[in-house]
Structure 1
Amino acid sequence: MFKGLGGLGDMAGMMKKAQEMQTKMAELQESLETMTVVGESGAGLVKATATAKGVLTGLDIDPTIFNPDEKEVAEDLILAAIKDAQAKAAQRSESEMSRLTEELGLPKDMNLPF
């Protein structure tokens, strides 16, 4: 039936696959907003919680780090926890994207979204 259409039969399949990929990408982007990661520093004295998109959502600080003579130490610990959370968020996002591309049969090293 599609014999005379040449590659158009394949084109319909490609369009369907592209729509499927677009839907899955939208679902993944939405789920990344609710996935959380926790970064920490100072052996857990400071914990930063972020979404897998890297948005900081919480900060838990053990009160023992608040020594007025060591203000810089407290600041460094807070920054380190936030950076750790952001790095974990980026890693989680990359991992989820990689999983999606693999499910769609695309090359593992393909960077989505384009």
Structure 2
Amino acid sequence: MLKGLGGIGDMAKMMKAAQEMQGKMAELQEEMARTVVVGESGGGLVKARATCKGEVTGLDIDPSILVASEKEVVEDLIIAAIKDAQVKGHARNVAEMQKMTQALGLPADFKLPI
């Protein structure tokens, strides 16, 4: 008489899985906000630290390049180091998301919101 109600259990199971995934996503986002990567430029003369979410947290500049006549070069090296850190952070974030999708049994190319 009540055929088809077996699907309700499947729906509840899906909802529970979605809630678990949401919790894991939140944990991963928090972890990525705490994880720091280092970008470099100029053969390591300039180093920038940034979180995997892209927030720059620090900058190290070798004093040997702080010459007034080389101001533009130093500025370019700083920008390059920051970009390198942000690229590394994004790549780490994507890799962690891919691990999560695989652990959840989703297709490898499934895109979770980052």
Q: How does 1:90-105 map to 2 (within 5 A)?
A: 90-105=90-105
Q: How does 1:1-114 map to 2 (within 5 A)?
A: 5-113=5-113
> Deviating runs (4+, > 6 A) in structure 1?
none
Q: Which amino acid aligns with 1:96?
A: E
Q: Give the Cα–Cα distance (whole angstroms) in 2 for the partners of residues 67 and 30 of structure 1.
A: 40
Q: Give the Cα–Cα distance (whole angstroms) in 2 for the partners of residues 10 and 3 of structure 1.
A: 14
Q: Give the Cα–Cα distance (whole angstroms) in 1 for the partners of residues 74 and 22 of structure 2.
A: 44
In structure 2, the CA distance between the partners of 1:28 and 1:40, relative to structure 1 (3 Å rule), is same
SS of residue in 1 equivalent to 2:44: coil
User: Quick check: 81-90 or 103-112, which moved more?
Assistant: 103-112
For residues 43-86 of structure 1, give each alpha carbon's deviation from its aligned partner in whole angstroms, at most 9, with x where no partner exists: 10000000010100000000011111111111111010000001
Q: Which amino acid aligns with 1:106?
A: L
* Structure 2 alignment gaps of length 5 or more: none
TM-score by length of 1: 0.93
Q: Give the Cα–Cα distance (whole angstroms) in 2 for the partners of residues 64 and 103 of structure 1.
A: 47
Q: Give the Cα–Cα distance (whole angstroms) in 2 for the partners of residues 78 and 88 of structure 1.
A: 15
Q: Which amino acid aligns with 1:68?
A: A
Deviation, structure 1 residue 92:
0.7
* Structure 1 alignment gaps of length 5 or more: none
Identity level (%):
65
SS of residue in 1 equivalent to 2:86: helix
Q: Give the Cα–Cα distance (whole angstroms) in 1 for the partners of residues 45 and 37 of structure 2.
A: 16
Q: Give the Cα–Cα distance (whole angstroms) in 2 for the partners of residues 59 and 4 of structure 1.
A: 61
